[in-house]
Amino acid sequence: MGGVLAIGFLLCNLLLLFDTSFSHPLCIDSRAPSTLSSPLKFCSYNETACCNSTEDLQIQKQFQTMNISNSGCASLLKSVLCARCDPFSGELFTVDSVPRPVPLLCNSTVSANSSQSIQEVNDFCSNIWDTCQNVSILNSPFAPSLQGQAGLPVKSNVSELTKLWQSKADFCNAFGGASSDGSVCFGGEPVTLNDSGTPIPPHGLCLEKIGNGSYLNMVAHPDGSNRAFFSSQQGKIWLATIPEEGSGTAMELDESSPFVDLTDEVHFDTAFGMMGMAFHPNFAQNGRFFASFNCDKEKWPGCTGRCSCNSDVNCDPSKIGSDNGAQPCQYQTVIAEYSANGTASQPSLATSAKPSEVRRIFTMGLPFTAHHGGQILFGPEDGYLYHMMGDGGGTGDPYNFSQNKKSLLGKIMRLDVDNVLSEAEIDKLVLWGNYSIPKDNPFSEDPELRPEIWALGLRNPWRCSFDSARPSYFICADVGQDLHEEVDVITKGGNYGWSFYEGPYVFTPPKSLGGNTSRKPTDPIFPIMGYNHSEVNKKEGSASITGGYIYRSETDPCMFGRYVYGDLYAGAIWAGSEDPENSGNFSSSKIPFSCGRDSPIACSSVPDSSLPALGYIFSFGEDNRKDIFILASSGVYRVVRPSRCNYTCSKENVTAVATPGPNGSPSSHATWLSSNPSKNVVLLFSSLVLLLLSFV
């Protein structure tokens, strides 16, 4: 009996491993496609592509050396080679993490619910076989690998497909595949996805207030429970318990008993303080966590580091002058590691941590007193630490730090904090602290880049997040200057244009740039969403974006899959939708928001308005159930069921909300269901199998 149950449980768990991949424009080298100034001459791409003119010429030369005599076959092979330029080439040429010599060829009709365009209905793999099977192809890309499957090809001379493969079935088994709900295949033309039209925005966003404190950061506890860490700009971190949605109770947080107090090191002012925190993915076992903050070297001896204005970037600190009474690099940005080890029997049970640094990860002096970002995040798939850094301040980035590849200002960095280097190695690499460099950072392809850099051309990234359902969607909000606030999908080596562009608009700096003036970016990546200052805060005369999350909770099913973000001045919240799904094409619209009458803590209203008085929207947060929270100056608010604010959502009644397990934390199945709604059927089937087996 026990063996039967074990086998049944194993089979059910194997079912849970099957996951649907998701498509979005991404090149083979993990970079975003580039916007073409003019169409490619050989390959049929004219707007965005993963090739430039040089690579287009290389593909043309490769095609010519194949010496294909049959015109029909030549046309098909040309399209196959040119698929490397397709904006979806990253997925076409990589299946199950295995690189392929040719794209995945469509070899069956597209399913009715596929995201891929109906243009791919042709059995393209069979078409290639039927047309080219007896045609000589020099150095055929269809040569079988040593394993006899579609892998890296062995060198071949003039060959026909019939000499390489026994049958069409064998050929298409190796090179073919169908377009499913979440993946794409190549059908002879640039990949296109179905366009269902502009999505209808939700009727409104319903909030409940569960806390009165003002916090800058929220991080779900890595143990998967219903707890989360909150930090203040002053430098304290608290551990809180999040109540059930609709329970009528506020979150449990004792302001008098912080998890850790770092206020002795943190310099707090309007634009300074503790800007970020991150808990190691294995925190429940190793107790490691990290804080990102600013310090004043005149007040704390431990605040010391190189100035970001230095000879490497042709910047002289003595010529900058003071800013708001501060000398250049008087203030520093710091990432330090701390530990909860030794404060409880195991780190996951710790309710306090030691305030002494375990290791200084990063220290860098700031040229001015603004635009220094400071958020830190661990990548959900690679485990590396991402550090968001603004351009350092000054109107129009006066020293062009954002475009300077030798400067870390105006960048997103990607650091390995698990592999410790010796002091000699750190000095040799001229690093800014104690970390190592991931080998696949963009510097491996662009030696001009500082090795820490993952992306560049940002002004002041203020709140980034990874989509919990599709971690390749790394989305950041970037604060604008005079005109536009933007939302970007961050990709490896991506250049987001500042200060040559402010969002989609050409930016003209008020004076000539100092430093090493880089040339204008040739392939800037423009925002997926955003808004002009004229749309909001007319009284203040300015705006400042606060980035959020792609909503993945089942609490409000009408918000599912939408990117939620807001403005600092709390006058507007937007929901961004992607259409076609997984295409990378977004549109956004303002959505009404209000507070439920049954909110655990009563919400006050803005005078002469129906809006709840949030004050300032500092940040957004996400817990382990994927519910989204707004961290505002007036308190902590959670997005709840729309019916609690009398908003209509036709999907609300058919969706169950995850409930906590007996220990006060979400059960593993509840957490999994909440974050993976597409697998409900598998979960129900698995539960049924276990139920039947229990009666055997």
Q: Which residue has the higher pLDDT, 522 or 93?
A: 93
Is the pLDDT at 160 greater than 70? The verdict is yes
Rounded to the nearest 5 degrees, what angle is found at the Cα of 544, between the Cα atoms of 540 and 546?
Answer: 135
Give dist(CA 619, CA 215) in Å, integer.
Answer: 8
Look up residue 362 and give its two tokens: 């990063």
Comparing C-alpha atoms, which of 274, 371, 291, 369 is closest to residue 330?
Answer: 369
Lowest-pLDDT choice from 52-56, 528-532, 677-681: 677-681
* Residue-wise pLDDT tens digits, 462-514: 999 999 999 999 999 999 998 999 999 999 999 999 999 999 999 988 776 66
97: confidence class by pLDDT, cuts 50, 70, 90: confident
Place of tokens 């956004």: 588
Is the pLDDT at 409 greater than 90? The verdict is yes
Strand, coil or helix: 15: helix
* pLDDT value for 51: 94
pTM for the structure as a whole: 0.82
Q: What does the CA dihedral 615, 620, 622, 627 come to, rounded to 10 degrees?
A: 50
Look up residue 243 and give its two tokens: 């109540």
Is the pLDDT at 280 greater than 70? The verdict is yes
What's the CATH superfamily of 372-532? TolB, C-terminal domain (2.120.10.30)
147: confidence class by pLDDT, cuts 50, 70, 90: very low
669: confidence class by pLDDT, cuts 50, 70, 90: very low
Report yes or no: 377 and 386 within 8 Å, Cβ to Cβ: yes
Domain definitions of the chain by residue range: 372-532, 544-647
What is the arithmetic mean of pLDDT over 29-46? Answer: 90
* pLDDT value for 338: 98
Task: Kindly state the helix (H) or strand (E) to which residue 358 belongs, with its residue range.
Answer: strand 354-365
Comparing C-alpha atoms, which of 27, 26, 29 is closest to residue 445?
Answer: 29
Comparing C-alpha atoms, which of 388, 353, 364, 351 is closest to residue 276?
Answer: 388
Phi, psi dihedral angles at 311 (to 5 degrees): -65, -25
Give dist(CA 109, CA 258) in Å, integer.
Answer: 59
DSSP string covering 576-601, please? EEESSTTSS-EEEEE--EEE-TT-SB
Strand, coil or helix: 114: coil
What is the arithmetic mean of pLDDT over 11-25? Answer: 47
537: confidence class by pLDDT, cuts 50, 70, 90: low
- Strands of the sheet containing 545-550, edge to edge, are 545-550, 563-567, 573-578, 586-590
Phi, psi dihedral angles at 452 (to 5 degrees): -75, -20
30: confidence class by pLDDT, cuts 50, 70, 90: confident
Is the pLDDT at 626 greater than 70? The verdict is yes
Q: Is the omega angle on the peptide bond into residue 499 within 30 degrees of 0, that is, cis?
A: yes
What is the arithmetic mean of pLDDT over 203-211? Answer: 97
Phi, psi dihedral angles at 189 (to 5 degrees): -130, 160
49: confidence class by pLDDT, cuts 50, 70, 90: very high
Is the pLDDT at 302 greater than 50? The verdict is yes
Report yes or no: 668 and 224 within 8 Å, Cβ to Cβ: yes
Residue type, 138: L
Counting beta carbons within 10 angstroms of the beta carbon of residue 112, is it exposed (0 to 12), middle (13 to 18) or buried (19 or more)?
exposed
